[in-house]
Amino acid sequence: MGTRTGNRAMQVLLTGATGFLGRRVLRQLLDEGCAVRCAVRPGSDVQSLRDFVGLRRWSRAETVNVQLANPEQCEGLVQDCDVVYHAAAALSGSASNLVMNSVVPTRNLMNAASEQGVGRFVLVSSLGIYGSQELRRNSLLDEKCPIDPAGHLRDPYTYSKILQEEVAREISQESGLPMVVVRPGVIFGDERGAMSHRVGLQLGGLLLRMGGGQRVPFTYVENCAEAVKLAGFKEGIDGQVFNVVDDDLPTGRQVLRKYRKAGRKFRVIGIPQVATNWLARFNEWYSERTEQQIPAVLTRYRVQAMWKPLQYSNSRAKEMLGWHPSTSFDEAFEKTMASGA
């Protein structure tokens, strides 16, 4: 596809531009010379986005205030766009809120994109959507693994991402809208450190380290943004899915060690891998016995999906997107720490 169509710069629509990942995608797209239309909400912080990308780049960006939950507003939005990058999503809140802010906008935007004949729809999904509880320990998780068939048993965010991809796939198949899906692992970087749930769970002032020997599928936010950008440019990848994780992934224990070395203090209780299952079993039992006085946040199903030791592959993204995670984990971690995240 490249970054030019005929004589004009590629026109793209980007959602979620004010977000952690989206603002980096925007900066990289502008550096490629694209004209970027950013769909923002009436309350979005556009000022800080402008400061982030810098005034020089900003001249090729425009912002449009829309409610993506409103199908009519989506129609005009995608007009004349060669590519739609859809990175907007809610990351927390109730399941209904997540569906309204992630799945419904995806459906509306894709319907509009297919009607307007958009050349490609790039969906930012998540690595969390795989049914990894079905995989054996230490086996390879790649794009061939099936999506979790019982998303409602996962946490509300993951459920919304599973539903999002399902709906997206249906629309793409029915309407013929070319779609490329990017599934990033745990994104970290300047505003957001590497202390993911996949390392451990925060309980008041305590950190419950879950397992510790398993690799955490990190991707540095700049690396990830580059993969997302490329997913809109490369020829011949319509219909493809790309897992995006960096090279040399650290284990949860190694991440904590790095944090300590950087002078951060935690009170950690290490829960060995086998015990994570017992803990989940107890949580399920207690929750059922007390009619959810404490909800079953930790279930065996979720433990298996989140903390099982697995191998992760990024070879498809490297081969087909020509992507290379240019910042190594160590370097990215240092930058992140230096930013105070």
Ligand X SMILES: NC(=O)c1ccc[n+]([C@@H]2O[C@H](COP(=O)([O-])OP(=O)(O)OC[C@H]3O[C@@H](n4cnc5c(N)ncnc54)[C@H](OP(=O)(O)O)[C@@H]3O)[C@@H](O)[C@H]2O)c1
- Among another protein, ligand X, none, what does residue 16 contact (CB within 5–8 Å per kind)? ligand X
User: 297 vs 93, 170, 199, 208, 290, CA distance in Å?
Assistant: 14, 30, 16, 14, 14
Query: Interface with another protein includes 96 (CB under 8 A)?
Result: yes
Both tokens assigned to 45 = 């912080």
Query: Interface with ligand X includes 156 (CB under 6 A)?
Result: no
The b/e string for 308-333 (b: 16+ C-beta within 10 A; e otherwise) is bebebebebbeebbebebebebeebb
> Of 11-19, 57-65, 299-307, 311-319, which part binds ligand X (CB under 6 A)?
11-19
Query: Interface with another protein includes 4 (CB under 8 A)?
Result: no
List 119, 184, 200, 211, residue binding ligand X (CB under 6 A): 184
Cβ-based nearer residue to ligand X, 48 or 292: 48
Query: Interface with ligand X includes 63 (CB under 6 A)?
Result: no
List 130, 159, 242, 259, residue binding another protein (CB under 8 A): 159
Give the shortest CB-314-to-ligand X separation in angstroms.
14
Query: Interface with another protein includes 173 (CB under 8 A)?
Result: no
Cβ-based nearer residue to another protein, 42 or 263: 42
187 near 20, Cβ under 8 Å? yes
Query: Interface with ligand X includes 252 (CB under 6 A)?
Result: no
Length of the chain: 341
The b/e string for 83-94 (b: 16+ C-beta within 10 A; e otherwise) is bbbbbbbbeeee
List 101, 243, 276, 314, residue binding ligand X (CB under 6 A): 101
Give the shortest CB-196-to-ligand X separation in angstroms.
7
258 CB neighbour count, 10 Å cutoff: 18
288 CB neighbour count, 10 Å cutoff: 10
- Among ligand X, another protein, none, what does residue 68 contact (CB within 5–8 Å per kind)? ligand X
Helices 221-233 and 22-31: crossing angle in degrees, nearest 10, is 60
Residues between 106 and 145 with contacts to ligand X, criterion CB under 6 A: 124, 126
Cβ-based nearer residue to another protein, 160 or 219: 160
> Of 16-24, 55-63, 199-207, 235-243, which part binds ligand X (CB under 6 A)?
16-24
> Of 7-15, 48-56, 88-96, 225-233, which part binds another protein (CB under 8 A)?
88-96
108 near 99, Cβ under 8 Å? no
216/256 Cα distance (integer angstroms): 12
Q: Nearest to ligand X by Cβ — which residue?
A: 19
167/169 Cα distance (integer angstroms): 5
Q: What is the DSSP string of 203-267?
A: ETTEEEEE-SSSB--EEEHHHHHHHHHHHHH-TT-TT-EEEE--SSPPBHHHHHHHHHHTT---E
258 near 250, Cβ under 8 Å? yes
Cβ-based nearer residue to ligand X, 41 or 335: 41
> Of 126-134, 156-164, 257-265, 269-277, which part binds another protein (CB under 8 A)?
156-164
Give the shortest CB-158-to-another protein separation in angstroms.
13
Question: End-to-end distance of the chain based on CA atoms, in angstroms?
Answer: 36
User: 244 vs 218, 224, 282, 309, 316, CA distance in Å?
Assistant: 9, 7, 34, 18, 9
Cβ-based nearer residue to ligand X, 48 or 311: 48
- Among ligand X, another protein, none, what does residue 162 contact (CB within 5–8 Å per kind)? none
Residues forming the site for another protein (CB under 8 A): 41-44, 67, 92-97, 99-100, 103-104, 107, 151-152, 159-160, 163, 167, 289-293
